[in-house]
Structure 1
Amino acid sequence: MSNIFRELLKKIGSGVHTGENLTRQESEVATEAILRQEATPAQIGAFLIAHRIKRPTPEELAGILDAYDRLGPKIDVANLPFEKPVTVIGTPYDGRSRTVPVTPITTLILATAGVPVVMHGGDRMPTKYGIPLVEIWQKLGVDFTSLSFPQVRQLLKKTGLGFIYLPKHFPQAHDLVPYRDQIGKRPPFATAELIWSPCEGKVHLVAGFVHPPTEERFQETLPMRGINYYTTVKGLEGSCDLACSRTAIIGLGQPTDPPRFERLLLNPRDYDFSSKDVPLESTDQAIEQMRSVLQAQPCELMDAAIFNGGFYLWRCGVCEDLKTGFALAEAMLVQGKVAEKLKEISTLSSEELAVN
């Protein structure tokens, strides 16, 4: 396999004049060789940095995701008892370091409203070593790191919330973390992970991005993969969190016949929300802000929580318009329903661990 891989490496690493893009099938073969570590460490490192410099094509991203499908965990969403499609949240695995994330609260709001959500990621990792989602969930009382894959699937079925934890559920992907550190840059796999769905069946995929060319690749890659219901967000630090400090640039992939793409520019000031994002000072500060929101206590993060929660309630089909979504998100927080959902998830996750 290392000899086959060498030819694929030569193809993408030969420079501007003689280098070539991989086909979707070649990209899948290369990715599988990397995930299985059938290529040598030198080859893997060279491939990741060469591919980073070249930039992946939509066909290559589709091939990477084909390999992820072949080797990674898959939840069959067709057998889940939900009226709404599962929303898969794709955020950078290297976490947050500048702004307090609101993603966990958004997912709790959605789950409370009957929209199932699946997240995925690992521990702190390069290049940013920011706060990962799984660590936030632990401090909120839900330890996804200890759940087996069947337990995650069961928790999703019971509560509408699940988390694929790479070290436990997809160790081949987790084993690439040292390479990320050694090359000092996010490899193309980090881009593919934003639009990876660890689910089998129709989903609503949400992906954060920073640079417009990344979103353009998403628009081509996702339909190749049969995903036409998706949302792209130029979010805080590449996450799916809408910023309060600027107009949100959002892409709406609509599963119509034929599928279409629409652009939405959403200014929080048009709806009287704060124009400030909450800076991240420490993990404890972030958790304190989230707990204040869940307890409906006045805090800096409240506007961001309502703004994001209301938008996603509308986007996921719970509400007919944005204003109704914002009002519903606020009502669920004030009435304690979101806090109750967190308590339910924490209790059931602990029960799942106790059984096994």
Structure 2
Amino acid sequence: MDTMKPFMSVLATGKSLTKQEAGDAFKTILSGAATPGQIGAFLMALSQRGETLDELLAGAELMRELVVPVDAPDNAIDTCGTGGDADSAGGGTYNISTAVAFVLAGCGVPVAKHGNRSLSSKSGSSEVLEQMGVNLSLPPERISTCIHEAGMGFMFAPAHHSAMKHVGPVRAELGIRTIFNLLGPLSNPAAAKYQLMGVFDDKWLTPLAETLKGLGSQKAWVVHGSDGLDEITTTGPTSVAALEDGTVRRFDVSPEDAKLPRAKPEDLRGGTPKENAAAMKALLSGEKSAYRDIVVLNSAAGLIVAGQAEDLENGARMAEQAVDTGKAKTALDKLIEISQQG
């Protein structure tokens, strides 16, 4: 249990850990060799000082090393956020990134979606998928079949990151965001090289994009809405850190870029998993709404990341077509069917 002491001594002085030190500390924690008190103190120290790129990279590399992997096409994309929409929509939005996954699949882009139960909203991706009839208790090879045949597969984080069981109770007791809120979306079990990632605070945009670069991502957008959403919002502008050709650049986008109307925060407010599942089915069946608009906007960004669209306007029209022709709904229906065979 003394193995954490050298790292705690460094953190106690306010200094940062080297990548090697951070990696060794995470190995100690994820192997079960650290006490709950040490884990809590470690996470709190990082949070208080601010996590560094080396610490993020070391943690993400180890989590990817320990993951139960899933085979996916080389051009697979992940649409996973850190969570953090509780305040921005007065209690949580509809499931945006999950609906985006079906739209992208409807456009022919394979999606390896990584997700968990809800952190901030009333209904996370796993809850709403279960409500719609998707079987989430699948072995890796069946998830791979879903990605290849339905165009979308869902990887439930606890099933792929078993080492996190050593950290879960401490995180719950701390009740604050820790480095693991950032590491989750960086640790895709299919090692997806393309990513549309939402984050709860714009201070993490560039660091997370740089971390994805270090992890070998080909192209990614890390986004944070001006209203606090960990999505591209339709209530105002959104800040983006885009990774492309090994370079990270910053810019802002707005719904007007995709010829979409602005929304009010209350128009995006979700409900229970049952209510959100009904809303998603209505959207995928062609119903027009503010929910549809924000899903179309985020899908447009996903299509840019996947190399299928030149800009948001072009991507938005492609996304709308995937919904209106029933292709996005077909992806959901196929996922339900294939997952239930598993």
Q: Could you tell me which residue of structure 2 aligns to residue 101 of structure 1?
A: 95
Taking the aligned partners of 2:134 and 2:228, their CA distance within structure 1 comes to 24
Q: Could you tell me which residue of structure 2 aligns to residue 170 of structure 1?
A: 161
Please state how far the C-alpha of 1:293 moved relative to its aligned partner: 0.7
Matched positions, count: 334
Q: Could you tell me which residue of structure 1 aligns to residue 183 of structure 2?
A: 192
Taking the aligned partners of 2:83 and 2:31, their CA distance within structure 1 comes to 20
Kindly indicate whether residue 248 of structure 2 is the aligned counterpart of residue 261 of structure 1.
yes
Q: In structure 1, what residue type is equivalent to 2:338?
A: L
Q: In 2 relative to 1, CA 123–320 (structure 1 residues): closer, same or farther, beyond 3 Å?
A: closer
Please state how far the C-alpha of 1:131 moved relative to its aligned partner: 1.9
Partner SS, residue 56 of structure 1: coil
Taking the aligned partners of 2:121 and 2:276, their CA distance within structure 1 comes to 16
Please state how far the C-alpha of 1:244 moved relative to its aligned partner: 0.6
Counting only pairs closer than 5 Å after superposition, residues 152-231 of structure 1 correspond to structure 2 as 152-200=143-191, 203-231=193-221
RMSD: 2.3
Partner SS, residue 155 of structure 2: strand
Q: In structure 1, what residue type is equivalent to 2:174?
A: I
Taking the aligned partners of 1:321 and 1:19, their CA distance within structure 2 comes to 43
Counting only pairs closer than 5 Å after superposition, residues 111-130 of structure 1 correspond to structure 2 as 111-125=105-119, 128=120, 130=122
Preserved contact between residue 296 and residue 316 of structure 2 (Cα < 8 Å): yes
Work out which of the residue numbers 12, 15, 19 in structure 2 matches 1:20: 15
Q: In structure 2, what residue type is equivalent to 1:193?
A: G
Please state how far the C-alpha of 1:323 moved relative to its aligned partner: 2.4
Kindly indicate whether residue 24 of structure 2 is the aligned counterpart of residue 34 of structure 1.
no
Q: Map Cα deviations across residues 121-171 of structure 1 (whole Å, 9 max, x no partner).
A: 33345xx46422111111122122x11222212222222212221332222
Preserved contact between residue 195 and residue 205 of structure 1 (Cα < 8 Å): no
Q: Could you tell me which residue of structure 2 aligns to residue 275 of structure 1?
A: 263
TM-score normalized by the length of structure 1 = 0.86
Q: Map Cα deviations across residues 101-125 of structure 1 (whole Å, 9 max, x no partner).
A: 2212211111122211122233345
Partner SS, residue 70 of structure 1: helix
Preserved contact between residue 94 and residue 130 of structure 1 (Cα < 8 Å): no
Taking the aligned partners of 1:198 and 1:237, their CA distance within structure 2 comes to 27
Please state how far the C-alpha of 1:93 moved relative to its aligned partner: 5.5
Q: In 2 relative to 1, CA 349–95 (structure 1 residues): closer, same or farther, beyond 3 Å?
A: farther
Please state how far the C-alpha of 1:228 moved relative to its aligned partner: 4.6
Gaps of 5+ in 2: none
Taking the aligned partners of 1:63 and 1:94, their CA distance within structure 2 comes to 24
Q: Could you tell me which residue of structure 1 aligns to residue 280 of structure 2?
A: 290
